[in-house]
Amino acid sequence: MTSWQRGMMEIRIANQADRDDVRSIYLSAFPEGERNLISDLAVDLLTQRTTPVTLSLVAESGGDAVGHVAFSPVAFRNSEDVHGHILAPLAVEPTHQKTGIGSALVEDGIRKLSEMGTSIFFVYGDPKYYGRFGFSGDVAKPFKPPYDLQYPFGWQAITLDEALAKKCLGPISCVPALCNPKLW
């Protein structure tokens, strides 16, 4: 099932057979000091089973994987009826960057998960990039990330139901793959 196509591009749900391609995308897109940590995270999220589901998407061009994003569930200590996900990681092969692939992966993931009942999304990244999707540091302020942040300005969120999100203010917890302080 294709959710986005532009020319020869297609976005599809990733599976375990995509492990090597996903690893390769991150190894090529991230700098030396981060590439192994982030590629391991992407592969771990691809293979871990979570409830609710971790959504992992791959962008393909000419049958080759050129982009990937993962959205894994977060839990709120004081509310089990609110569903949230964190976007991490996201990468596009350097030769395909600045073509809209990253944006399409983010938008497709948010759309799919909102249709499944996710009402709040988090990201820890560049506010200039993620702000274009509606992520905001002000929305994220009431939610404490699982670890102290090296760059606090990068903690952002989008809420699709403000009243519902207010029920779960406070600390969040993540899936085991994200429980590494080096990622934060």
Q: What is the pLDDT along the chain (184 residues), one digit of tens a residue?
A: 344 445 578 999 999 999 999 999 999 999 999 999 999 999 999 999 998 999 999 999 999 999 999 999 999 887 777 899 999 999 999 999 999 999 999 999 999 999 999 999 999 999 999 999 999 999 999 999 999 999 999 999 999 988 777 777 778 999 999 999 999 9
- CA distances in angstroms from 91 to 4, 22, 63, 115, listed in the order given: 17, 9, 17, 24
Structure tokens at 19: 């492990």
Torsional sign, CA 18, 22, 23, 28: positive
Determine the residue type at 103: S
Beta strands in 27-159, from DSSP E residues, in sequence order: 55-61, 64-76, 79-92, 120-124, 143-144, 155-159
